[in-house]
Structure 1
Amino acid sequence: MSDAKHSNPVEIEIAEPSSLNEQAAAALVIAGALVAVADRRVSPVERDEVIRFIRDRGLAPHIDDERLLAMFDALAERLEEPDFANVVIETLRPVADLSLSAHLVELSERVAAADEDVDPHEVQAIKLLRLLTLTLPRAKQVAPGAVRADRRTAAEE
């Protein structure tokens, strides 16, 4: 594996998604991948459950299945690295303000049950995901007047 791949917590194609839709899809995929790799064996049925969940709920309608599968494979591979927690946090952070928490937890639970064998490590991964969805920093709300004042100050300088 190249150094460029490891210099960024998430691969370039996922770290800089072009839209909020893609960021949300990556967050959903990381939730499923986290549970899938927790027992150290990613089952095809777990991978399929991630895609099925996203499709059934219409959560990423503009992203095709091939792209979602590629995201899953890339993120699952990255989650096997020592810095896996950073990968999860950096993937979830951009969508912390969206109401995805319930979907993330439900998806993780469905992936754990998909292979009909819920491993204790998968349960720990779900608990970690629940904790992260509660504690990730939210984007600051900026009052419209504050933005105009900042622009005026910048223009005067």
Structure 2
Amino acid sequence: MPDRDLSPILGEITDPSSLHEQAAAALVIAGALVAVADRRVASVERDEVIRFIRDRALAPHIDEQRLEAMFDELADRLDRPDFANVVIDTLRPVSDLAIASHLVDLSERVAAADDDVHPHEVQAIKLLRLLTLVLPRAKPVTARRVSDQQPVSGDTT
């Protein structure tokens, strides 16, 4: 595997603890997925993603240039054979946040941005709806006392 595939890409989340970056990436991937669905990304589609995020103050800490770079890079990654993994891996960290409705709203706005809703864009929106319903939610981790743990069968402790 070439080294370029292992280094962080422009727009990639390099700090997994950055929930704000992850939420912004999830919004951007939703828009990018619809934008690439018809095999041509119009600048008006990218502009709609940025406008949607800005108008709703969903990522006020991230500047427009950063959002544009994220969109361009994620749109490029969605053009690769492993695009489904890219979408799932980008959405999974924020699956327990209340942004699911924003993802679907954003995807619908992007589909309509170029005044031509392609059937593949409709399919991408349906996929996003499905993913927002079925992605595993983050599970809270609770500490258990050692005395609370059940012995495994055959365990003599």
TM bucket (normalised to shorter chain) is 0.7 to 0.9
TM-superposed CA distance for 1:7, in Å, is: 5.4
Query: Which letter does structure 1 place at the counterpart of 2:45?
Result: E
Q: TM-score if structure 2 supplies the norm length?
A: 0.86
Unpaired stretches in structure 2, ≥5 consecutive residues: 147-157
Greater Cα radius of gyration, structure 1 or 2: 2
1:16 corresponds to: 14
Distance 1:48 1:68, change over 3 A: same
CA contact (8 A) 2:11 2:73 kept: no
CA contact (8 A) 2:29 2:71 kept: yes
Q: Give every structure 1 segment of 4 or more consecutive aligned residues whose post-TM-superposition deviation is greater than 2 Å.
A: 2-8, 10-13, 15-18
Q: What pairs with 1:7-156 in structure 2 (closer than 5 Å)?
A: 11=9, 13-17=11-15, 19-143=18-142, 146=143, 149=145
- Paired-residue identity, %: 72
Aligned-residue RMSD, C-alpha:
2.2
How many pairs does the alignment contain?
Answer: 146
The Cα offsets for residues 60-107 of structure 1, whole Å up to 9 and x where unpaired, read as 000000000000000000000000000000000000110010000000
Distance 1:7 1:50, change over 3 A: same
The Cα offsets for residues 36-65 of structure 1, whole Å up to 9 and x where unpaired, read as 000000000000000000000000000000
Structure 1 distance, partners of 2:5, 2:107, is: 25
Q: TM-score if structure 1 supplies the norm length?
A: 0.86
